[in-house]
């Protein structure tokens, strides 16, 4: 049985869910602030997902696995008329993100602290303008490739929830995962890679805030790829 066929559902295989003990403020934010911002995939999704947010938004963007929240927070401030749904199951990373917004909760933010598949299956068809999957866990050992989030099952989900012409943006410093993603998107057929020259996928996205994962990759001598696909 192939690695891919062993994960037909596309559900995540998490590593650690929690790291070092949380500080008092972090624990309080998780208890009090996260419920105010959390989406509930057990509820009925609004017909227009833009109504999920407290302030008027023109488009909706989903970031899967936002880590410490550097990129997500940057985009929130940069684009207040886009609604952002951020997903991060690692408790300490969620606590960091909440610490960035606890003094002034953005009206264009919603969060989820478990498997992204829950949200993807909850969202209405053609409701999302952009999906960001930035430096996801590469599961570098071949025997673990089945755990990678990019899979046929999840590309099917992306295709369903993205609007025609919507974007799927993927960044990684692991060559095997970059190649894996290119191959899977090509095989899927619903996504068109936008690169025409090498510079198109070696150049960071516009107004890109470098993340700690990217900084670590550079210290270790690895470059990054920034892939953009359009949903046909």
End-to-end CA distance of the chain: 31
Q: Which domains does the chain have, with CATH numbers?
A: 4-9+19-231 (3.40.50.150)
Q: How confident is the model at residue 15 (pLDDT cuts 50, 70, 90)?
A: low
State the alpha helices, DSSP H only, in 5-134.
24-28, 34-37, 70-78, 91-101, 116-122
Residue 137 appears among annotated catalytic residues: yes
pLDDT of residue 1: 34
Q: State pTM to two decimals.
A: 0.92
* CA angle centred on 91, ends 90 and 94, rounded to 5°: 90
The active-site residue, picked from 79, 102, 118, 137, is 137
Token reading at 129? 């303008």
Q: What percent of the chain has pLDDT over 70?
A: 93
Rounded-to-integer distance, Cα 89 and Cα 110, Å? 14
Please indicate whether residue 17 or residue 201 has the higher confidence score (pLDDT): 201
Distance, CA of 162 to CA of 160 (rounded, Å): 6
């Amino acid at each position: 049985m192939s690695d891919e066929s062993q994960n037909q559902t596309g559900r995540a295989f998490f590593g650690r869910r929690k790291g070092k003990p949380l500080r008092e403020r972090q624990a309080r934010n998780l208890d009090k602030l996260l419920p105010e911002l959390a989406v509930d995939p057990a509820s009925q999704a609004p017909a227009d997902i833009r109504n999920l947010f407290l302030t008027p938004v023109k488009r909706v963007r989903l970031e899967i696995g936002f880590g410490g929240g550097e990129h997500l927070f940057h985009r929130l401030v940069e684009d207040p008329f886009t609604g952002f749904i951020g997903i991060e199951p690692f408790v300490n990373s969620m606590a960091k993100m909440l610490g960035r917004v606890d003094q002034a909760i953005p009206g264009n933010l919603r969060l989820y602290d478990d498997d992204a598949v829950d949200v993807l299956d909850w969202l209405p068809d053609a409701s999302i303008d952009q999906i960001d999957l930035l430096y996801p866990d590469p599961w570098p050992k071949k025997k673990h490739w089945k755990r990678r989030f990019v899979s046929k099952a999840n590309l099917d989900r992306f295709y369903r929830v993205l609007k025609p012409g919507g974007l799927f943006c993927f960044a990684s410093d692991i060559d095997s995962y970059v190649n894996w993603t290119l191959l899977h998107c090509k095989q899927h057929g619903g996504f068109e890679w936008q690169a025409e020259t090498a510079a198109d996928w070696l150049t960071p996205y516009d107004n890109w805030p470098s993340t700690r994962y990217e900084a670590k990759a550079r210290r270790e001598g690895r470059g990054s790829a920034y892939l953009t696909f359009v949903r046909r």
